[in-house]
A and B are shown apart, each in its own frame.
Chain A
């Protein structure tokens, strides 16, 4: 009996030992397989990777997005690109006709979400740079460089938010408190104001240039370029209500543009849309479209967890593709075709002649002509978001509208035309003696159309700001501008811009997406939706 009791006791002790060992509280301390924030931002590389993560988010604006690519939302409202006769294939074709632009529309919320995610990523970097000791940077200048990049990217988002939604909330802090998650609408130009402040600072922080291994990152002149652009936009907004402020902004813009000294117009216009000529000397900011070697999964977003996502730009709209029953949904408008003088060499780089009547004789060529495909009609060709030609035309406008030298302004337009004609004669220079401001402004507007058409989001944003400034009047716009039918696919009578304009009370902004409205009652929907 005694033996048994001893035996039992031993067993009990063993069991108890095993269990209590197993139940040690520390067994619950399981390490997160991902690195945590408290262990991060400790080295220069950490900051570099965070910045790459911020740049990478731009992909969400340009990728295939499961056949719901966002390009249509900024390309189609303008008068440079329209949908073809059989263009109803694309979910975004309503942007062409200004119909079905609803708060619930996917593109409306995808752009919003992406821009705010970039703002969040860059804001974190800005905060971490401010908090971080310079000593962790192996290259002491890198701390400023990265902060400058973050400020630039955030400004670009605020600039796009202002242009797209107008009253989107302005957010400059990292929100980590449930009680502070709601931010009300911004007012007037608050978004642009913030961008101007940030870019002014960024221009002082960024390097003059990067080495080849880092090409594609923004530099000081990128910040000055975008700064000037934002100032021009703000000047347009205030032109009618506060002309003095407007003139001031135009002047500041010229100052900023003047700081751009290393950029040139590359001799060959087509190089700006050539996949093998990316980040060239004309370029100030590009989305670095790529494609992962053999592994790109275009159905997954760049951020996709633990798998290969997209890194490319989608250009399937411009070509005859299987998705569209061999059709091509987006084509150049008749107005655009008519805008070029015959013989302008830019024509060959912008569109091609086709015989298919469904495309009114023309199909898009810019970016396509010198493309390198990433598979599935995706492209490795970088969208040139900001380039020197744009800067020169903005500068011409700023000089003209701030009462500067008209001949200087015309000279800047002529720089563009000079490069365009290359060794040829068309387009010829404008007369630098012209004194009629409206004529010169019309020249600028037309040159912007020819030079920048279908090249990212220029045209629609330009039309809107010129309307604010009173240079054009969109309220009576049929989009045609003298060419029969704004939208080449159907008669002007069916074009619904006036309906849209009336319904939104002249508001040219897109609606604030339902996802924001539903979760943030401090935000008021834009008028008309």
Chain B
């Protein structure tokens, strides 16, 4: 018997006792581990007969030792052997005896070699350990940090730095799960004491994800350029049914998506890596390989787009507000790739300088699948303006008139006058402007499938958005289908067709800004048509005096007497107007593409395709003449048509046809470690845009379905048409090479011709190069186990932009001035004879050519610890030869300024994104964050000119479109203080240079410009005039960011997105309008804080009609920080926990609830920093998705 018990030593030295104990235990355990498997069978064969009466266990053991060859090994410090037992037995084996003996104790036994039996505490005895090493199946490198769990228990561990592990099993046999992000999970049954080495196989997801790069696709690890993507899953979770841009918001570095607000028809604006031009800054959209081109592309709504204002207005009218993305059903989209740098986008050289957005739609594969998804939601805007009531309004106006000695209080504001209107009840003008219970609905159904030879995808969708404002909504039906088929070993054909029908009501009677400015006493409802209140009192009287012999009918002397009923600022009764007219757009868009591809040799693909995008848009509107009394600028309703007409009708049909012919040869070949991919492409694009319009002032029916323009009304009918054409031709060559997936080199050259330039300047060459080094593929990096992938890449390239007013190289003769001759006393004809004249538009600039944008990139992409994805990128995007309208002196007498290559703008910054994903048991998580910085600077300008105005100035050395105006100095608290100032300084914006207490003063920063000082003299003079205007803020955000969180637990999933922009200023036009305290329009309740002798405000000036102090000039008073942090989206879903085996009819069913714009943190004082006129709505949604 071996008994370690040594009382002497133990008692003498407790520390030694502990040490000894530890040593002993380790010895025991060591024995256990080493000897277990080879334990002899002696103990089972040795049988004993016995009878123990009230003996201690220790005595029993001693007895057994005495009677057999068995030796026991125990330590009384751990087990209590003093317990008395009584037991007997005949011919029992020793193990049976020991089991009975120890059953009630805390000890257990184990039989070792040499008849040695160890008795130790149960918890020690039960250890059944498995050890081993885990390696990567491909590289053989050890994998640290692998999560090892005994299935069905909470027992788990991780591999150490060398990939080694050791785990104890609760029982002899168990199953162990080995899991690690990026690897396929393995489950292996083990038995106790075994050694188990495991090879983990990479899951392809992270590194082999495929990215659409334009004219092809590529594994993510092989991408050498700057491309951001979002996938179908993200799009679905972005809660948008309208337009997929919003799914990109905050998810991509380098891509700033500014929402179009609550108007379902408006197009969000997208800026890729800053703003390179003050012209067309929208990126190029390529849908399934078809570059989309629309008439007036990018010119809509923007007066700074290189087009003259009239042309822009005209384009806006003609093309409507059709948003490219809203014609694509987001649920049909497989992925969106944004090509951000020139080396990526050079393949679309033409028009690619603002970046390229590649949209790839879904294709079918595998077993036939039916997908259904639907969502339903409510939306509203979170905040509204608070306006003055009647008494506050009267007080404000009375005070304002009293403060301007040049003006007299209007009678309707004067309680002592019989015309006083202040006794009328207050009206809430704003509320009826909002759609009640505004809903969004989206239903989609698709069928898809395929096999090795062919695949198909067919989908229908319906989307409806009631809009935030009344009569401003969108309905859309989409049909999508594509079929791809291999017709022999050598040929593949495919057809892709998309049809969209949209009906949009765009008839909000007026802006909310105008509407809330209505004097609060003006009634909405009254005794006018449709129950609305007239805005004017008017009589139309026909005076039948004999007309001149040859006079036109409208030449007769009609009388129109109009009196505004509610003061000078009587507003249009917008609701009355809205009830008597309609204006809607219907559009039909067809996007079709067919291709044939031959593969005569392996790796050689020859493809030809023809794509046609055509849409028709019909704008229809009518207005009944009875609405005259709601207007304040009424047309005489008796005058038009045959003088008994009910109203006017007009229709405008526009037709856009975009034909793209495309031919490409692609060859890829691998020999040894060398991989080549060569592409040649030729593309021709033609666009036709035609508009035909028809209108009549003769309407004979009030029944809407009977409103047509009749041919017989030719005397009152007006028609016109116009055609715009454009054409582009491009050739592309691309060579991609990589060696062993380690060294990459891509070179692209594109040559493009545009109709927009003179023949000798028509062609532009756009080269691009990029290179990458996948460092992690090097042998010397293999040992860095925490670094799973690392790539360094760099690129340079050039892109073009030709989007300007067409034919600028020609001097056009414009046929629009008109004048009338031949009025003489003899004929008494005041009208004369209408005669067409001509003018030359501006001077031709034969030299104009492509605007070129060069980009340079440096980036690191890395995957760390299998769980962290990092990309850090520096970019520099410099646009040279900006093709823009010059700002020439008006003295040269041009109608419009000519276009020239006039400037250079640089955008540079960093993009950083980091993603972390992981899994703990059933809990999965994925967090991504990204931030982009933009430094925008105008490098040079034609003639060093400064162009623009207060709302957007463009000047060398500044951020483009900066805010320019006066800087507030302060508010005078007394007339004496004001007089002291005006004795020193003359303010030309103050009437008669008179300032009073409560007026603002503005900083006198500079002196007047002179021959030596182009814009101002740095030495201040004594006059505050336009030369004292200065930089007030930048309109291009310095940074923007996004955070996306995706969590999953069993069937539950949660995704949340946050977006934000920072360091950006905007001029708050609405606040300017609603706190100007001049002009009699109703004001917001903010004006209650205005300066008065009893409220000596230092920030809010006094009320003064006519603004004699010039307080409302464009100044930093209304410039605000427009940064924001928005909780853009939340979606919480639950997928029913069944599999196809369990439920035959369905594969997957998921329910979700969600919300958009749940909060927005911003210092902006208005309703919404993104869109003040039509704020981003807050919406709550729920939906269902099912696959059958």
Contacts and interface: CB of A to CB of B under 8 A. Distances in A.
A33 B724 contact: yes
Nearest to B817: A56
Given A40-B813, A271-B825, A494 B408 contact: no
Interface stretch (A4-12, A135-143, A250-258, A446-454): A4-12
Contacts of B488: 4
Interface string B649-671: 00000000000011100000000
A155 interface: no
A121 B840 CA distance: 8
B1161 to A, nearest CB: 37
A303 B896 CA distance: 11
A113 B755 CA distance: 32
B762 A28 contact: yes
A474 interface: no
A52 B820 CA distance: 8
Given A99-B992, A525-B1008, A311 B820 contact: yes
Residue from A123, A176, A516 with most neighbouring chain B CB atoms (10 Å): A176
Interface in B469-487: none
Contacts of A178: 845, 886, 888, 900, 942-943
A125 to B, nearest CB: 10
Contacts of A463: none
Contacts of A322: 536, 562-564, 632-633
A293 B834 contact: yes
Given A5-B600, A288-B832, A36 B816 contact: no
A521 B633 contact: no
Nearest to A287: B819
Nearest to B950: A104
Nearest to A41: B813
Interface string A355-395: 00000000000000000110110001110000000000000
Nearest to B728: A28
B923 interface: no
A279 B825 contact: yes
A16 B1105 CA distance: 73
Interface in A272-293: 275-280, 288-293
B837 interface: yes
Nearest to B890: A113
B813 A37 contact: yes
Given A176-B844, A278-B823, A290-B832, A49 B1009 contact: no
B813 A36 contact: yes
Interface in B576-603: 596, 598, 600
Nearest to B488: A4
B810 A97 contact: no
B76 interface: no
A288 B822 CA distance: 9
B980 interface: no
B712 interface: no
A25 B753 contact: yes
B193 to A, nearest CB: 64
Interface string A159-203: 000000000110100111010011100000000000000000000
B812 A37 contact: yes
A8 B682 contact: no
B655 to A, nearest CB: 15
B1014 interface: yes
Contacts of B67: none
B870 to A, nearest CB: 43
A380 B831 CA distance: 6
Interface string A330-348: 0000000000000000000
Given A36-B811, A499-B992, A305 B816 contact: yes
A120 interface: yes
Interface residues of A, number: 130
Interface string B796-820: 0000000000110011111111111
Nearest to A518: B946
B640 interface: yes
A109 B1026 CA distance: 14
Contacts of B811: 36-38
A521 B1009 contact: yes
Nearest to A177: B843
Given A23-B682, A34-B812, A293-B834, A121 B723 contact: no
A421 interface: no
Interface stretch (A214-222, A236-244, A398-406, A433-441): A214-222
Contacts of B548: 276
Contacts of A34: 807, 812-815
A46 B991 CA distance: 49
A52 B819 contact: yes
Nearest to B725: A30
A467 interface: no
B895 interface: yes
A35 B720 contact: no
Contacts of B600: 5, 8
A177 B727 CA distance: 28
A262 interface: no
A306 B406 contact: no
A121 B683 CA distance: 42
B713 to A, nearest CB: 13
A23 to B, nearest CB: 5
Interface stretch (A72-80, A86-94, A223-231, A411-419): A86-94
B1009 A22 contact: no
B555 interface: yes
B753 to A, nearest CB: 5
Contact of A276 (B725, B825, B1026, B1106): B825
Contact of B816 (A23, A38, A277, A306): A306
A306 B663 contact: no
Nearest to A370: B830
Given A37-B813, A521-B1014, A288 B819 contact: yes
A215 B890 contact: no
A103 B835 contact: no
A306 B720 CA distance: 9
A516 B812 contact: no
Nearest to B946: A518
B1141 interface: no
A100 B991 contact: yes
Contacts of A430: none
B204 interface: no
Nearest to B566: A325
B807 A25 contact: no
Contacts of B682: 19-20, 23
Contact of A288 (B661, B823, B825, B845): B823
B684 A23 contact: yes
Interface string B824-841: 111111111111111110
Given A19-B661, A52-B835, A293-B834, A516 B816 contact: no
A187 B815 CA distance: 36
Interface in B683-735: 683-684, 686, 697, 716, 718, 720, 722-729, 731
A4 B225 CA distance: 39
A131 to B, nearest CB: 14
Contacts of B8: none
Contact of A217 (B552, B759, B821): B821
A97 B817 contact: no
Contact of B837 (A55, A118, A123): A55
A372 B554 CA distance: 11
Contact of B890 (A5, A109, A118, A376): A109
Contact of B895 (A289, A290, A303): A303
Contacts of A513: 890
| Pairs A-B, 6 closest by C-beta atoms | A120-B893, A52-B837, A53-B837, A56-B817, A19-B663, A276-B828
Given A178-B845, A494-B406, 11 more contacts: A8-B600, A19-B661, A32-B806, A32-B810, A53-B839, A104-B1026, A171-B892, A215-B821, A321-B562, A519-B888, A521-B1011
10 contacts: A23-B683, A28-B729, A32-B807, A36-B812, A123-B893, A178-B943, A278-B823, A279-B823, A517-B1009, A521-B1014
